[in-house]
Amino acid sequence: MRAAWYVPEVNERRAGLRYRCTYPIAALQRRGINAALFDEKNAELYDAVTFDAWTLFPTVTSEVAAERALALAERLKANGTRIILDNCDNQFSGSPDQNWRDACNRLRRLANQANTVITCSDELASVMQAECGLTRTPLVIGDPIETRIRYTSDSLLRSIASPGRKLSWFRYIRHRAQITIERSQGISPLVWFGGHGNSFSEGGMLDLKRVVPILSAMSQEHPVSLTVISNNRSKFESHFSDLPFSTHYIEWDRVNFLAMLRLHAISLIPIALNEFTRCKSANRLTLSLYHGLNVVADAIPSYRDFANVCALDDWHGGLRKYLANPGLRNRHKADGKALALAKFDIDRIADAWVAALNHASPSARERQ
């Protein structure tokens, strides 16, 4: 088996690209499978080529490049290469302009060209089947847990020599000192992390506004602090810098992000439920559980399997129980990490990709 992922522009700040391209490639390579980023020089040698749905959309690529991807898929398929379309978001949930609608139509075309369609969640699989008129429900392969943020260009020498990495760890040490002081004062550190928002769907940092009154009331019973790890300081300053409890803003930095995350006790995941968010994978929840945090979240379909190891749709009760009951926190952390690994460990995800590439699998079966 010789497999490739077609990615015209490798931007590894995109979590979806790491989860659904570079990490699967690395996992398959460790198994001795010939997997790599697509190279035109080897186009005729690939048994299967996976296309990322986002490469058809204006947030990632140009219309010319998107049409080029469609033409490539058609040419490869005509030569006997299996075409796989992988999608991790419901782009059909919003149509901000004609360019977006055109991109959605390109997605429909590629879905119908593909031999196999893969999505990150059952909910998205149903949407793709309905929107694209597919006769079979797409395969579902979740996002692997990110135990360490790796870029393909990483090297030990660059890591040692990089002034930027030293500055990143200085910021981490400074924040760790703040959190250590707060913990010594009986303050429980809470955290929210994620992109601040986008132009094609609701959600992002401002989802936190809905739970601020709950946090403010809770802070009267049990002192808390809130750290926001994101990519828009001005939005944080406008909405969260003047609350009746301590708040911190940390710019997302892949060098220190996971270490920053682990400093905190409870991960907050408020979600405005809509057609976009209900199709999301469980990756923020599983990332939090794996790295030792309890989770209080709004429920989306992909979170339901974790209902017994976190607090879903119960902001007052969930926060109160976690803040008052260390034994419950510890049980949920241990059980949550074990469950997250059982479902989304990279080796399990690699099993599903191998099965998808071979188009036969009990772990990622096409459901009629």
Mark residue 308 as left, alpha or beta (left: phi above 0; alpha: psi -120 to 50; beta: remaining): alpha
Mark residue 98 as left, alpha or beta (left: phi above 0; alpha: psi -120 to 50; beta: remaining): alpha
Starting at the edge strand that comes first in sequence, how are the strands of the sheet with 82-87 ordered? 34-37, 2-6, 48-52, 82-87, 116-119, 139-140
**Residue written as tokens 């989304």?**
344
For 30-33, the CB contacts below 8 A with 24+ separation are 30/350, 31/350, 31/354, 33/1, 33/3, 33/354
**Residue written as tokens 């034994």?**
327
pLDDT recorded at residue 171: 96
* Closest among 363, 360, 357, 358 to 343, alpha carbons compared: 363
pLDDT for residue 367 is more than 70: no
pLDDT recorded at residue 250: 97
In contact, 142 and 349? CB cutoff 8 Å: yes
CA-CA distances (angstroms) from residue 75 to 43, 61, 70, 125, 355? 10, 20, 9, 26, 24
Three-state SS for 303? helix
DSSP 58: T
Which residue type, as a one-letter code, is found at position 310? C
pLDDT recorded at residue 117: 97
In contact, 24 and 58? CB cutoff 8 Å: no
Average pLDDT over residues 28-32: 97
pLDDT digits (tens, 9 = 90+) for 199-254: 666 679 999 999 999 999 999 999 999 999 999 999 999 999 999 999 999 999 99
Residues of the chain above pLDDT 90, percent: 86
**Residue written as tokens 């977006």?**
100
CA–CA gap between residue 84 and residue 356 (Å, rounded): 9
Starting at the edge strand that comes first in sequence, how are the strands of the sheet with 294-297 ordered? 246-251, 224-230, 188-193, 266-269, 294-297, 311-312
pLDDT digits (tens, 9 = 90+) for 33-69: 999 999 999 999 999 999 999 999 998 889 999 999 9
Using DSSP bridges, classify how beta strands 82-87 and 139-140 pair: parallel, antiparallel or unpaired: unpaired
Average pLDDT over residues 268-297: 97
pLDDT recorded at residue 334: 98
pLDDT recorded at residue 364: 34
pLDDT confidence bin for 293, thresholds 50/70/90: very high
pLDDT for residue 146 is more than 80: yes
When comparing pLDDT for 156 and 132, which is higher? Answer: 132
Residues of the chain with CATH 3.40.50.2000: 2-144+346-358, 160-343
pLDDT for residue 83 is more than 70: yes
CA–CA gap between residue 21 and residue 251 (Å, rounded): 25
pLDDT recorded at residue 54: 95
Helices (H) and strands (E) in the chain, counts: 14, 12
CA–CA gap between residue 217 and residue 324 (Å, rounded): 15
pLDDT recorded at residue 63: 93
In angstroms, how far is CA 80 from the centroid of its own chain? 32
pLDDT for residue 368 is more than 50: no
Q: Which CATH architecture has domain 160-343?
A: 3-Layer(aba) Sandwich (3.40)
Q: What is the CATH code of the structural domain delimited by 2-144+346-358?
A: 3.40.50.2000
Write down the mean pLDDT value for the chain.
Answer: 93
In contact, 118 and 356? CB cutoff 8 Å: yes
CA–CA gap between residue 289 and residue 244 (Å, rounded): 28
pTM score: 0.92
pLDDT digits (tens, 9 = 90+) for 101-114: 999 999 999 999 99
pLDDT digits (tens, 9 = 90+) for 161-211: 688 889 999 999 999 999 999 999 999 999 999 998 876 666 799 999 999
Q: Lowest mean pLDDT: which of 8-12, 63-67, 234-238, 301-305?
A: 8-12
pLDDT for residue 365 is more than 60: no
Average pLDDT over residues 147-171: 83
In contact, 340 and 286? CB cutoff 8 Å: yes
pLDDT for residue 360 is more than 70: no
pLDDT for residue 311 is more than 80: yes
Average pLDDT over residues 334-342: 98
Tell me the H-state helices in the chain.
15-17, 23-30, 63-78, 98-113, 122-132, 156-161, 163-184, 212-221, 233-240, 257-262, 283-290, 315-324, 326-344, 346-358
CA–CA gap between residue 32 and residue 288 (Å, rounded): 31
The tokens for 239 are 């909405």
